[in-house]
Structure 1
């Protein structure tokens, strides 16, 4: 039965961790975003995040976005720097039209850092991107 389920490949949807200045607290924070670079809206977006290593595991965080419009992005969560020494996963599921899509984005340990910053699509920011 499982072999009969077809889940197509996700394209033009990314997860980025962006280094941003926080006006309220006057600090530089790292925030995770989901980016929809498609020409269509994403519906019922479910994001499940967690961090892990050989001997540590974080709590699981869940976020639901009813609609992520085409060519837009939404904030997922603030990520404390102490979690960068862990592998951080973002499991993303969504509907585009009547089709379900699913993909796991992985930020390997120590890959989120200031030296790895690059331009992020649709955002006027620099960060670390996983496609």
Structure 2
């Protein structure tokens, strides 16, 4: 029975942590985004985030998006720099047509930093990307 279950591979959907200027508070903030680089819309997106290491575990954060249009992105949450010393997971589930997709994105501890910034697809921003 298990061999009959098809688990589709997620491609074209990324998580990025972007360092950007907050004009209201005049600070540099780190924000997590989900990016849909596909040519189709995503429906009913559920994102569950948490951080952990050997000693600590953060509380779980959940976010739901009804739709993420093709070639677009949406902000998930603001991240405090103290979290970068932890492994940060983003568990993403969504529908593409009638098929459900699921993937866990992992930012390993200390990999989110200013030295790791790169160009982010679809955004005019620099950040750390996990595919």
Scaled by the length of structure 2, what TM-score is found? 0.98
Aligned to 1:118: 118
1:7-39 per-position Cα deviation (integer Å, ceiling 9, x unaligned): 200000000000000011000000000000000
- The SS at the match of 2:101 is strand
Q: Alignment partner of 1:83: what SS? A: helix
**What residue is the counterpart of 2:81 in the other structure?**
81
Give the Cα–Cα distance (whole angstroms) in 2 for the partners of residues 36 and 79 of structure 1.
20
- 2:58 is matched with which residue? 58
Q: In 1, Cα distance between the equivalents of 2:88 and 2:46?
A: 16
Task: Deviation per CA, 1:86-106: give whole Å up to 9, x if none.
Answer: 000000000000010000000
The root-mean-square deviation of aligned C-alpha atoms, in Å, is 0.8
Misfit runs of 4+, over 6 Å: none
2:131 is the counterpart of 1:128: no
**CA distance, structure 2, for counterparts of residue 83 and residue 4 of structure 1:** 40
Counterpart for residue 103 of structure 1: 103
Alpha-carbon distance between aligned partners in 1 of 2:106 and 2:60, rounded to the nearest angstrom = 15
- Number of aligned residue pairs: 131
Secondary structure, counterpart of 1:34 in structure 2: strand
How big is each residue's C-alpha offset from its partner over 1:35-79, in whole Å with a ceiling of 9 and x where there is no partner? 000000000000000000000000000000000000000000000
Say which SS state the counterpart of residue 9 (structure 1) adopts: coil
Unaligned residue ranges in structure 1 (runs of 5+): none
Q: Secondary structure in 2 aligned to 1:105?
A: strand
TM-score, structure 1 length as denominator?
A: 0.98
Could you say which residue in structure 2 is the equivalent of 1:40?
Answer: 40
